[in-house]
């Protein structure tokens, strides 16, 4: 560096020298510091090297100790393995000897089983041959049984037809018996009795032995059980439907159009199924004749449908039908189709009298003309709404009156063409169409029919040309006999029960008098027997439908009903009278 101009070079160099010396001293100080640090690092390095040497020795010692331990372990494991191998060899020898024995035993048992299988196969073959022989014999027996069954059914039908013919000739009362199933109220509810007696009350004691026999198991405490049997024209068990019941009733309806009066009467204790048999099930205390399940309909709606079906097969205008509904309540007769001045149906008391011909008649009784089954059932339903009912311990909807539904069929027979050809009959019917217009319209009251002694001029003219033949179908739902102690009735209901039992007793007395052929039959002892005099006394084909309860609880009442049916079968009233029913002859 050149000295600047104006400055002393010596001072410059001196200053420069001082700076260099300062730098030299700083470097030397730095060297001393570094040497000091280097010495300290050498000391630490020597210390660490000593530690590393000691660690290396310890590691070598550890490796040596572990190697010895592994040697010891390997030697003990080898010893254990040798022992285990020895044991396995011993077990293997044992298994080998066991396998040999097992193989021998298996071969021996295989031979035994093979012999047994061969013997079983031979036995099966023998059994198959025997089975084939048995099947052939069974088939032959089935054919024989079928032939015998067919012969039995044919003979049974012949016997039944002959029996029915005998019943017709003797005028016997047909008696059918229906046993209802056990129901929830049969558990003797409402009675303070022991559980053992309650179980006995719910026990079934009445059975249908076959389709003509009722079997009743009668037992008393401390006595042996006795079986009693009752024979009837038909017996229905507790599983038979309304269809089966009506199938045996339907033939009587054909007799109705052939000129015979017909009466179907349900008899039995309270709660035995009379109203169900005659009318059908109750829905909330009312009868539903339009229920979807027609299989539940009773005899009355089914008989109505059948009658109108039979009428539909006849010439139009040759029949008309009237209906009346009465109840016998407390020995009084009530008209259930009477109407007030506003046309509203109400119940009114009527009386029963005996006509000059000896027939029973109810003056002023309302007769409604109906054209089909729906109209008929509508009127019957109106009448049923007025029927007296009262709940008891035996039946929640107990009927307290006898119901008599009468269906009167008037057959129009043209009198001018007897013995003429069928074409002449048709022509006569066309000429007399105007006459048919004079017949009753929708409502007929027997008051107007019986109060006037002469007919109108038109009716007189009609009576010269036609003849009217009336036949009646009486459908009777009797009130149930009941034990006061069991039904628990008091007050007015007790009075009702007294009248019911007395009227049923009067009915039994009438049948007894007819069976014994007494000169006097006490029809007038009760309004019920007086009303049913024509039906019970022999002017009609009479069917009594006994309804009984199967439980031990009602054994006394069931026996009484069966006894009534047995006495009714013994009644011989003479052959039922057919109305004078001339028929025109057809052209040859």
Token readout for 256 is: 């109705």
| SS3 (DSSP) at 263 | strand
CB 576 within 8 A of CB 260: yes
Alpha-carbon distance of 410 to 363, in angstroms, equals: 19
Residue 424 pLDDT greater than 80, yes or no? no
Whether the predicted pLDDT of 63 surpasses 90:
no
Judged by DSSP in three states, 57 sits in helix
* Overall pTM surpassing 0.75 (yes/no): no
> How many CA atoms, within 13 angstroms, populate the side-chain half-sphere of residue 507?
30
In the structure, what pLDDT confidence band is assigned to residue 483 with cuts at 50, 70 and 90? low
Enumerate the domain spans of the chain: 82-170, 173-183+202-414+465-572
- Output the pLDDT for position 167: 60
How far is 178 from 241, CA to CA, in rounded Å?
Answer: 10
Q: Is 133 exposed, middle or buried (0-12, 13-18, 19+ CB in 10 A)?
A: exposed
Whether domain 173-183+202-414+465-572 has CATH 3.40.50.1000:
no
User: First vs last Cα of the chain: how many Å apart?
Assistant: 177
- pLDDT at res. 74: 80
Residue labelled with tokens 């005659």: 278
pLDDT band at 535 (very low <50, low <70, confident <90, very high): confident
3-state secondary structure of 588: coil
Q: Could you tell me which residues are annotated as the binding site for ATP?
A: 268-275
What residues have CB less than 8 Å from 455, skipping those under 6 apart? 463
Torsion of CA 242, 560, 387, 283, to 10 degrees: -40
Which residues touch 171 (CB under 8 Å, ≥6 apart)?
538, 571, 572, 573, 574, 575, 576
Query: Any idea what the Cα angle at residue 401 is, between residues 281 and 388, rounded to 5°?
Result: 75
Of the candidates 534, 504, 540, 510, the residue with the CA atom closest to the CA atom of residue 522 = 510
More confidently predicted of 137 and 390: 137
Q: What percent of the chain has pLDDT over 70?
A: 76
Mean pLDDT is lowest, of 404-413, 456-465, 554-563, for: 456-465
Q: How far apart are CA 412 and CA 261, in angstroms?
A: 16
Q: Is 344 or 133 the better-scoring residue by pLDDT?
A: 133
pLDDT in tens, 148-205: 988 888 887 777 677 566 666 655 688 999 999 988 766 654 444 445 545 555 688 9
Parallel, antiparallel or unpaired: strands 226-231 and 213-218: antiparallel
| The two three-digit tokens of residue 576, written as one number | 């039922």
Instruction: Classify burial at 40, counting beta carbons within 10 Å of its beta carbon; exposed 0-12, middle 13-18, buried 19 or more.
Output: exposed
Quote the pLDDT of residue 163.
58
The annotation places the binding site at 268-275
Closest CA to 474 of 274, 248, 265: 265
């Amino acid at each position: 560096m050149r000295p600047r101009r104006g400055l002393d070079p010596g001072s410059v160099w001196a200053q420069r020298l001082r700076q260099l010396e300062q730098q030299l001293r700083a470097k030397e100080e730095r060297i001393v510091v570094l040497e000091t640090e280097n010495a300290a690092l050498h000391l630490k390095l020597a210390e660490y090297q000593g530690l590393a040497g000691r660690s290396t020795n310890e590691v070598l010692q550890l490796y040596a100790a572990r190697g010895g331990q592994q040697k010891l372990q390997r030697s003990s494991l080898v010893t254990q393995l040798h022992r285990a191998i020895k044991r396995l060899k011993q077990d293997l020898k044992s298994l080998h000897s066991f396998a040999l024995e097992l193989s021998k035993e298996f071969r021996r048992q295989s031979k035994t089983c093979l012999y047994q299988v061969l013997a079983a196969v031979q036995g099966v073959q023998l059994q198959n041959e025997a089975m084939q022989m048995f099947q052939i014999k069974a088939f032959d027996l089935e054919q024989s049984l079928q032939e015998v069954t067919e012969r039995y059914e044919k003979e049974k039908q012949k016997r039944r037809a002959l029996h029915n013919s005998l019943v017709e000739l003797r005028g016997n009362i047909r008696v059918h018996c229906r046993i209802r199933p056990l129901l929830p109220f049969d558990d003797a509810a409402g009675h303070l009795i022991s559980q053992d007696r309650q179980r006995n009350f719910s026990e079934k004691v009445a059975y249908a032995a076959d389709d003509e026999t009722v079997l009743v198991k009668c037992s008393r405490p401390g006595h042996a059980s006795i079986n009693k049997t009752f024979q009837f024209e038909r017996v229905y068990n507790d599983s038979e439907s309304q269809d089966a019941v009506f199938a045996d009733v339907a033939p009587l309806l054909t007799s109705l159009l052939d000129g015979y009066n017909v009466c179907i009467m349900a008899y039995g204790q309270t709660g035995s199924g009379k109203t169900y048999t005659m009318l059908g099930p109750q829905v909330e205390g009312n009868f539903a004749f339009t229920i979807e399940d027609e299989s539940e309909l009773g005899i009355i709606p089914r008989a109505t449908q059948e009658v109108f079906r039979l009428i539909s097969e006849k010439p139009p205008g040759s029949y008309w039908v009237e209906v009346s509904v009465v109840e016998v309540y407390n020995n009084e007769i009530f008209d259930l189709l009477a109407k007030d001045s506003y046309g509203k149906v109400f119940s009114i008391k009527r009386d029963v009298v005996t006509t000059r011909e000896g027939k029973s008649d109810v003056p002023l009784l309302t007769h409604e003309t109906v054209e089909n089954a729906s109209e008929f059932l509508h009127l019957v339903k109106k009448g049923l709404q007025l029927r007296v009912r009262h709940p008891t311990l035996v039946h929640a909807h107990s009927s307290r009156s006898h119901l008599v539904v009468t269906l009167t069929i008037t057959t129009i027979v043209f009198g001018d063409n007897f013995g003429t050809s069928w074409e002449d009959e048709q022509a006569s019917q066309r000429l007399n169409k105007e006459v048919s217009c004079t017949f009753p319209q929708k409502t007929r009251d027997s008051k107007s029919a019986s109060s006037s002694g002469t007919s109108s001029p038109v009716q007189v003219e009609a009576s010269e040309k036609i003849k009217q033949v009336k036949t009646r179908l009486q459908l009777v739902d009797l009130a149930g006999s009941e034990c006061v102690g069991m039904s628990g009735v008091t007050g007015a209901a007790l009075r009702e029960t007294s009248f019911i039992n007395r009227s049923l007793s009067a009915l039994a007395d009438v049948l007894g008098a007819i069976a014994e052929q007494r000169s006097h039959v006490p029809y007038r002892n009760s309004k019920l027997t007086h009303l049913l005099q024509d039906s019970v006394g022999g002017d009609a084909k009479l069917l009594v439908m006994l309804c009984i309860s199967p439980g031990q609880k009602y054994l006394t009442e069931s026996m009484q009903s069966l006894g009534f049916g047995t006495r009714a079968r013994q009644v011989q009233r003479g052959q039922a009278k057919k109305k004078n029913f001339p028929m025109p002859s057809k052209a040859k």
